[in-house]
């Protein structure tokens, strides 16, 4: 790539493009999340640019890829995100039960308790939610969800959200897509596929999900977690210095984490009404977010500490003349003239990793490795 701002851009190692599904910690696949970073990239960045025992900040934690890899690599973790589903997933991955036996025990207790809960008044459930499920499946899923929330059991809650919608039999909804919820009732009509519209039992589906997750699993040490909290970077108040920041800020213009997670988010918070686009849908809001990041996160990086930013790019670049990483870097430099650019690494994202194959999707990310003057 040619850049007016970055004089030297390195190409990402070819290993980043290869699938590491067999070697990645299984918790990374706990549930889908748009704009997820590949675990092997997080691992590479953390191993190469931070040290064991370092305190790492990820203030855009998303599904918790960086926090989980950091904890597995013996780093201490501070994780934040504005989205409640992101925080549920991050906690689920870092606070998973130690063993399959413990996870199954918890599942049994929680399922039993959920069955004793009051049933929902169907007329209180929005129609757009009801049309995804058989009424009995929806009742049971909601009561299980509430029981998990009451018990602060993020792991079981994430397992439920993970099997919430798909067209496969191991999921709870009528035929629909997995990542972003859309019904597939045209392709799989009730008349032609009546089996896809019957009640779905929670227990075998959750149990299978848990068994898959615990295959060869070595959970992270919980002692490595300092905090995981739902808070936006604009409101973040840190009480300590950190040794490194490793994070991937929201893609400017590209992804809408609220709208695309709407069904899972409605389960997490029934009062969620507003699925309007996130503040990052405009370039100037991206700049505001960068300013908040500089004030509330970068300022707390210790002298000599590294800040590693994985910055995505949108395909549709209306009125945009530069990569968002350039924009972010220049604005950060204005607020912190003492930072030094160590590396710019370019990673081309293959179609399989994009949330949408066409239209507004991220096709190339730049990784900035910055160092605060020591």
Ligand X SMILES: C[S@@+](CC[C@H](N)C(=O)[O-])C[C@H]1O[C@@H](n2cnc3c(N)ncnc32)[C@H](O)[C@@H]1O
- Chain positions contacting ligand X, by CB under 6 A: 33, 35-37, 60, 62-63, 65-66, 81-83, 86, 232-234, 248, 250-251, 257, 278, 280, 289
SS3 per-residue string spanning the chain: CCCCCCCCCEECCHHHCCCCCCCCCHHHHCCCCCCCCCHHHHHHHHHHHCCCCCEEEECCCCCCHHHHHHHHCCCEEEEEECCHHHHHHHHHHHCCCCCHHHHHHHHHHHHHHHHCCCCCCHHHCCHHHHCCCCHHHHHHHHHHHHHHHHCCCHHHHHHHHHCCCCCCCCCCCCCECCCCCCECCCCCCCCCCHHHHCCCCHHHHHHHHHHHHCCCCCCCCHHHEEEEEECCCCCCCCCCCEEEEEECCCCCCCCCCCHHHHHHHHHHCCCCCCCCCCHHHCHHHHHHHHHHHHHHCHHHEEEEEEEEEEEEEECCCCCCCCCHHHHHHHHHHHHCCCEEEEEEEEEECCHHHCCCCCCCCEEEEEEEEEEECC
By beta-carbon proximity to ligand X, the closer residue of 65 and 88 is: 65
Closer by beta carbon to ligand X, 202 or else 236: 236
CB of 290: closest distance to ligand X in angstroms? 10
Report the nearest approach of ligand X to the CB of residue 310 (Å). 7
Q: Pick between residue 137 and residue 355 the one whose CB is nearest to ligand X.
A: 355
For residue 130, the minimal CB distance to ligand X (Å) is 26
Minimum distance of ligand X from residue 224's CB (angstroms): 18
Cβ proximity to ligand X: between 156 and 308 the closer is 308
Shortest separation between residue 236's beta carbon and ligand X, angstroms: 8
Residue closer to ligand X (CB basis): 185 or 278: 278
Cβ closer to ligand X: 94 or 233?
A: 233
- Of 148 and 289, the one with the shorter C-beta distance to ligand X is 289
CB of 188 to ligand X, least distance (A): 30
Question: Least distance from C-beta 302 to ligand X, angstroms?
Answer: 22
Q: Which residue's Cβ lies closest to ligand X?
A: 62
């Amino acid at each position: 790539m040619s850049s007016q701002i970055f004089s030297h851009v390195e190409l990402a190692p070819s290993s980043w493009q290869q699938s590491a599904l067999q070697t990645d910690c299984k918790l990374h696949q706990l549930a889908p999340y748009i704009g997820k970073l590949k675990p092997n990239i997080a691992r590479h960045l953390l191993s190469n640019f931070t040290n064991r025992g370092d305190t790492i900040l990820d203030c855009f934690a998303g599904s918790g890829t960086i926090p989980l890899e950091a904890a597995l690599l013996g780093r201490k973790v501070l994780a934040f995100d504005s989205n409640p589903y992101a925080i549920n997933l991050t906690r689920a991955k870092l606070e998973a039960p130690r063993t399959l036996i413990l996870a199954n025990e918890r599942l049994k207790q929680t399922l039993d308790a959920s069955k004793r809960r009051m049933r929902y008044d169907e007329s209180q459930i929005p129609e757009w939610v009801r049309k995804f499920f058989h009424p009995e499946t929806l009742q049971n899923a909601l009561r299980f969800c509430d029981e998990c929330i009451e018990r602060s059991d993020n792991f079981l809650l994430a397992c439920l959200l993970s099997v919430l919608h798909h067209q496969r039999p191991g999921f709870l909804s009528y035929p629909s897509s997995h990542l972003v919820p859309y019904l597939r009732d045209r392709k799989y009509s009730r008349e032609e596929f009546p089996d896809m519209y019957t009640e779905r039992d929670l227990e075998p589906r959750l149990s299978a999900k848990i068994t898959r997750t615990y295959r060869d699993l070595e959970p992270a040490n919980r002692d490595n977690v300092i905090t995981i909290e739902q808070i936006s970077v604009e409101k973040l108040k840190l009480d300590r210095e950190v040794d490194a920041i490793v994070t991937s800020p929201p893609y400017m213009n590209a992804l809408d984490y609220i709208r695309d997670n709407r069904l899972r988010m409605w389960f997490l918070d029934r009062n969620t009404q507003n699925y309007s686009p996130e503040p990052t849908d405009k370039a100037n809001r991206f700049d505001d977010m960068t300013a908040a990041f500089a004030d509330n996160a970068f300022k707390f990086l210790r002298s000599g500490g590294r800040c590693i930013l994985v910055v995505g790019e949108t395909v549709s670049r209306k009125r945009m003349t530069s990569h968002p990483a350039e924009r972010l870097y220049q604005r950060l430099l204005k607020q912190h003239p003492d930072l030094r650019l160590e590396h710019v690494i370019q990673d081309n994202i293959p179609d399989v990793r994009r949330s949408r194959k066409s239209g507004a999707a991220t096709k190339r990310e730049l990784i900035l490795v910055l160092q605060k003057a020591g």
